[in-house]
Structure 1
Amino acid sequence: MPTIAIVGRPNVGKSTLFNRLIGKRIALVDDSPGVTRDRREGAASVGDFEFTAVDTAGLEDAAEGSLAGRMTAQTVTAIEDADALLFLIDARVGLMPDDQHFADLVRKSGKPVVLVANKAEGKDGTAGAYEAYRLGLGEPVALSAEHGDGFADLYQALRKVLGDEKMFGAESDEDEDDRDSEDDVEDGDEVEQEDLRPRGPLAVAIVGRPNAGKSTLINRLIGEDRLLTGPEAGITRDSISVELDWRGRDIKLVDTAGMRKKARVQDKLEKLAVSDALRSIQYAEVVVVLLDATIPFEKQDLQIADLVAREGRAIVIALNKFDLIEDRQGAIKRFREQADHLLPQVRGMPLVAVSGQTGEGIDRLMQAVLKAYEVWNKRIPTAKINRWLDGVLQQHPPPAVRGTRIKLRYMTQNKARPPSFVLFGTRTGALPESYTRYLVNGLRETFDLHGTPIRLAFREPKNPFDKGED
């Protein structure tokens, strides 16, 4: 499948076009320039042409070590990796000096280029589209990514620069042989093949406060500088997903924006970025809460971990920058005690010391992630649960309320992801919260459900004398 990078100076509508091509609003969009900082990829299509679209940061003529310079370097890498480029200009503004400068950069890359005059709706847009001829990149495609106009012309332009073979591929004899062999498969064999299909990638979100080192850690995991990093806090805005093959297991790592205290989040863009991070937690299966080991368990860290637990996701605590800690053995023991005391709702969750800078603890972290996912999916036979419940009730029966004994009769697990249980009995609404915690902690310890939230619901038998309202 071809890869097409969307490039241009800041604020010409690259992310809007990216969202339009993939059919989802996943890239953050705002009127202010420089919203996009990292490369973002997505499965896109125009008509019957399917390809991988790459949204990039705006090209800027900036110093190499600056944030803008590092963003431009990411875009240059995207240009090098792409099969073709969509070079965008703002048709309403017309040509700017930076457009000409970066058109030269695109031309030198030698990649097939489609010149796109975005925001071409109305008379002003039409005039700007004609002005784009001066760039020497061929005939511009006038379109409006916001309103969805002009995409038929974009399709024809892509077909012209790429050719049918690159756009759609050529069917080989091997493909025909494969189809013939598929036709010969018996019904029973076909069902067996479906059962053996590999599962989808494991979705792992990396979350934490700003400047905890989330992007650095992911770059270390995948072995390349895929995500923008630096000493500045709050570099990441969009939630960016990258693929990782970890010892034969497909994993989708999601880098998220740092989440500050709610009272401090005033800027509109930061609100959008935090909202995107929260959505990533909801769609994740395992969430790694990344803490700065030099200042761990701040109030915001605890709030983030509590949010993950309330969303019902498997949780792993990673202590980053552990290479800066001197007494490591004593620190691990101290951090373990703090974690269990401050986060009792996920007591015993995996706690891993890592360093995104040096790579220390990366293996242990990924093993903890896979173990947490396994526990999150765990199912316990009903017979085992009720043998445990009988022992609990004999050792520590529920207290009587107003002289009436609470009867707990039967428990079963109604679902996993996270492990959820239903307890049947009478007067369960009067059960003290402390006894509920006692039951949840007992389930956690007995059935090794550490590092995952546990849901416990109560059901009472219907009163046969309660006929309801007439």
Structure 2
Amino acid sequence: MSRTLPVVAIVGRPNVGKSTLFNRLVGKKLALVDDRPGVTRDRREGDAHLLGVDFKVIDTAGFEDEDPQSLPGRMRAQTEAAVREADVALFLIDARAGLVPLDEEIGRWLRAEDTPVVLAVNKAEGRAGEQGAIEAMALGFGEPILLSAEHGEGVADLFTALLPYIDRPDDEPEVDVDEEEEARSGPLKLAIVGRPNAGKSTLVNRILGEDRMITGPEAGITRDSIAIDMDWQGRPVRLIDTAGMRKRANVTDKLEKLSVADARRAVDFAEVVVLLLDATRGLEAQDLKIADAVLQEGRALIIALNKWDVAENASSLFNGVRAALEEGLAQVKGLPVLTVSAVTGKGIDTLIKVAFETREAWSRRVPTGELNRWFEAAMERNPPPAPGGKRIKPRYLTQVKTRPPSFVLFGTRVDLLPESYRRYLVNGIRRDLGFGAVPVRLTVRAPKNPFDR
């Protein structure tokens, strides 16, 4: 059993270095960082480990005084929620800019909350931060911690200040778990991908049952890929919301390029990927490119038609999408195509259920005996060709790994097998051995002929 980790929420106005400090504490470049303000929108979580203490860090959007219905206003609501759930708020200000009215407003808000506050002055390398530190004393949170998130200065002092709020005794012994069994029984890593405005964040919020992600009519609200842990009918799920992926030719902004790259890394991390389509727009060429990229990475793929509650000509739309997938993704037949509504919640339980079943197939290992009985029968039904009169002699087939299922075919001249015969074997493995529509990889290995010179 895992303990609930203490939580540190980093708050402050835009562009004071919250995401840089977040990356420093978790030891990875998880959050997108750019010179312009307002890069972070949704709150992002990461696990940190310092001097034997484990805790969770939350990177929040820059705190702005805007209309609650505007995008900055909705971002502020996410920050407020993060602070209320945290064990301690890390209030960050910019040493070089000094104390500004928005810092004072944030300070008044934090004093009205019950969450303890640790004040830190960022960008204080050298003597640049002395004046900012003096001004920060007026906020009433005691002497601030001077640090440089970019260069790592002052992190030890910061940790010392946080320690009283995050150091908990470890009452539960660690339990050794078999690595493969842990992978199968651990959280389902489920990523939601698709074009902008397909409804990915709205779907994530509906699955979670709370407004965890910022949503709205504006395209491209989500920038970071956000992973959220949850339970579905007693089973753990790690849900990953991603930025919308447009055609590469249309992506010219540096920040959008970073967001799309982050979404692709989320696909690499996932086990099962849901490609969310907008049912009011149908299947487009960009959707097929995203699907192909997911399959090339060896991830299990599910197609979900969102906004089904407002779709017109539903039956012909569904059949048209399925036919286009069969033609455009010839390497995988029979992909699950489901209908959902992120607004009403229709089809979500089915979506999660199919995701678990798909992961089970993606993780399946076939016993060697069963595999080679199938292989012999497949060879009898359709013997391999003899290109140029040279007979190909496949000997046996073995599964070398799972997740994705990968097989190696051994035999004489098997490297001469045409692509059509390899597809015959792969399709048969999927159809007959319980792999369904998950990506299956097949490589061939022929012994070297000592006389071929």
Q: TM-score, normalised by structure 1?
A: 0.89
8 A Cα contact 2:400 2:406, kept in partner: yes
Which stretch of structure 1 is more off in the superposition, 419-428 or 249-258?
419-428
8 A Cα contact 1:239 1:277, kept in partner: yes
Q: Match of 1:312?
A: 298
Q: Does 1:261 align with 2:247?
A: yes
Q: Does 1:128 align with 2:155?
A: no
Q: Match of 2:261?
A: 275
Q: Match of 1:383?
A: 369
Q: Does 1:69 align with 2:58?
A: no
Which stretch of structure 1 is more off in the superposition, 145-154 or 389-398?
389-398
Query: 1:344 is paired with a residue of what secondary structure?
Result: coil
Query: 1:131 is paired with a residue of what secondary structure?
Result: helix
Distance in 1 separating the partners of 2:177 and 2:33: 45
Provide, for residues 276-325 of structure 1, a one-character-per-residue CA deviation record: whole Å limited to 9, x for no partner: 11111111111111111222321111111111111111111111111112
8 A Cα contact 2:7 2:166, kept in partner: no
Distance in 1 separating the partners of 2:29 and 2:185: 26
Q: Match of 2:281?
A: 295
Letter in 1 for 2:118: V
Q: Match of 2:313?
A: 327
Letter in 2 for 1:118: N
Q: Match of 2:412?
A: 426
Distance in 2 separating the partners of 1:406 and 1:308: 33
Letter in 2 for 1:390: E
Q: Does 1:144 align with 2:148?
A: yes
Offset, 1:192:
9.6
Offset, 1:111:
2.4
Offset, 1:262:
1.2
Measured on the aligned residues, the alpha-carbon RMSD in Å equals 2.4
Distance in 1 separating the partners of 2:444 and 2:145: 62
Q: 1:170 to 1:274 in 2, by over 3 A?
A: closer
Matches within 5 A, 1:36-435: 36-159=40-163, 163=164, 166-169=165-168, 199-435=185-421
8 A Cα contact 2:191 2:274, kept in partner: yes
Offset, 1:260:
1.1
Offset, 1:48:
4.7
Q: 1:383 to 1:192 in 2, by over 3 A?
A: closer
Distance in 1 separating the partners of 2:410 and 2:434: 23
Letter in 2 for 1:460: A
Distance in 2 separating the partners of 1:395 and 1:153: 71
Structure 1 residue runs of 5 or longer lacking an equivalent are: 183-189
Letter in 2 for 1:461: P
Offset, 1:238:
0.8
Q: Match of 2:34?
A: 30
Query: 1:30 is paired with a residue of what secondary structure?
Result: coil
Which stretch of structure 1 is more off in the superposition, 360-369 or 137-146?
137-146
Letter in 2 for 1:30: D
Structure showing greater radius of gyration is 1
Offset, 1:194:
10
Matches within 5 A, 1:430-469: 430-465=416-451
Offset, 1:215:
0.9
Distance in 2 separating the partners of 1:101 and 1:254: 33
Q: 1:158 to 1:347 in 2, by over 3 A?
A: same
Which stretch of structure 1 is more off in the superposition, 336-345 or 367-376?
336-345
Provide, for residues 14-69 of structure 1, a one-character-per-residue CA deviation record: whole Å limited to 9, x for no partner: 11111111222111111110011011122224545442221100001111111111
Which stretch of structure 1 is more off in the superposition, 418-427 or 195-204?
195-204
Q: 1:259 to 1:398 in 2, by over 3 A?
A: same
Offset, 1:158:
3.0
